[in-house]
Amino acid sequence: MPANNTIVLLGKIGQLGWELHRDLQPLGKVIALDYPQIDFTRPAELLSLVESLQPCLMINAVAYTNVDKAESEPELCDQINFRAVEQLAQLAARLRCGFVHISTDYVFDGTLTRPYTEEDPTHPLNHYGRSKLAGEQAVLANTPAAWVLRTAWLYSRRANDFVQRVLTWSRQQETLKIVDDQVGSPTWARLLSQIIALALAQAKGEFYDFIQQTNGVYHLAGDGAVSRLEWVQKILELDPARSEQITRQILPAKTAEFPTPAQRPLYTALDCSKFERVFGLRLPPWDQALALAMEK
Active site residues: 128
CA distance between the termini of the chain: 34
Question: For residues 285 and 265, what is the distance between their CA atoms, to the nearest angstrom?
Answer: 22
Angstrom CA distances, 135 to 63, 87, 210, 258, stand at 10, 10, 22, 29
Find the length of the chain: 296
Report how far residue 117's alpha carbon sits from residue 122's, in angstroms, rounded to the nearest whole number: 10
Q: Which of 48, 82, 44 is nearest to 62 (CA)?
A: 82
Measure the CA–CA gap between 133 and 8, rounded to whole angstroms: 23
